Amino acid sequence: MPEALAAALDWWRDAGVDCDFLDAPRDWLPAPQPVTASDSPAPVLAMPPPPPEPDTPKFAGDPAQWPQGLAGFAPWWMAEPDLDSGLVTDRVPPRGAANAALMVIVPYPEPGDAKAGQLLSGPQGQLLSAMLGAMGLTEADIYFAAALPRAMPAADWAALGASGLGRLIAHHIALVAPQRVLAFGGHILPLLGHELPQSPAILPIGNQEGATVSPDGIPALAVHDLGVLLDRPRSKAGFWRRWLEWTA
């Protein structure tokens, strides 16, 4: 009998049938079990919303506390703790009189200005004095100012603009009420809303009552930084050409 059974299996295996087949389907998967409370998936914890972005600190504190007259601006510029993150060392004051024929604005004082106690006391100031003579102006005609109170060669101008530096510069210009503004460097006029520093601008600077200092605005021109003019003598010709076109 076993030999007969083995022979039968060998016969079917030789015929290519090595599995058992049924006509009726059979469910080989286990039946699903009812879900109980203990089997419930753990609740998904919602992520807390990200904290709000911190407010960008204002460069010079509350504008309502800024000096409302030019006579008080220089003392405030030198001592106000809210100005420039509270750093009061190495600051250099602006100089000049109101209603100047020309207000010169440089990005920041020269490195030796704090020790000398005067803005543009070094090589850049000497170059500017020679330029003023060729322009038919004297230092008595000029109001000298810097956008920043101390030497900051690596200043982050984008961050300074976001902190309100442009508004402070505009306030300073309004107090001076000059006939023209000459900005050395390409960072200053963009802070005042003029995005084309290579072309002259008309600044709609307002006074304390909100009206413009001049009904037609204040003409402004941005040129190369004084340091660039010192290092690249050929750039002086380009400055002179632009100055003549601007003042023609």
Q: What is the pLDDT of residues 227-240, one digit of tens each?
A: 999 999 889 999 99
Report which residue type is found at 83: L
- Sign (positive/negative) of CA torsion 152, 87, 158, 102? negative
Q: Residue 168's domain is classified under what CATH number?
A: 3.40.470.10
Highest mean pLDDT of the ranges 57-66, 126-135, 204-213: 126-135
Give domain status of residue 47, yes or no: no
Pairing of strands 218-223, 201-203: antiparallel
How many residues are there in the chain? 248
Q: What percent of the chain has pLDDT over 70?
A: 75
Give domain status of residue 195, yes or no: yes
Give domain status of residue 2, yes or no: no
pLDDT band at 56 (very low <50, low <70, confident <90, very high): low
Which residues form the domain of 127? 88-247
User: Is 168:66 a contact under the CB 8 Å cutoff?
Assistant: yes
Give domain status of residue 112, yes or no: yes
Give domain status of residue 5, yes or no: no
Report which residue type is found at 219: P
E-strand ranges in 118-200 read 142-146, 181-184
Question: Can you read off the two tokens belonging to residue 94?
Answer: 């602006």
Give domain status of residue 73, yes or no: no
pLDDT greater than 60 at residue 37: no
Q: How many domains does the chain have?
A: 1
Q: What is the pLDDT of residues 89-104, one digit of tens each?
A: 999 999 999 999 999 9
Report which residue type is found at 208: Q
Give domain status of residue 61, yes or no: no
Give domain status of residue 121, yes or no: yes
What pLDDT does residue 84 have? 84
pLDDT band at 87 (very low <50, low <70, confident <90, very high): confident
Query: Average pLDDT of the chain?
Result: 84
Q: How far apart are CA 127 and CA 225, in angstroms?
A: 11
Q: What percent of the chain has pLDDT over 90?
A: 58
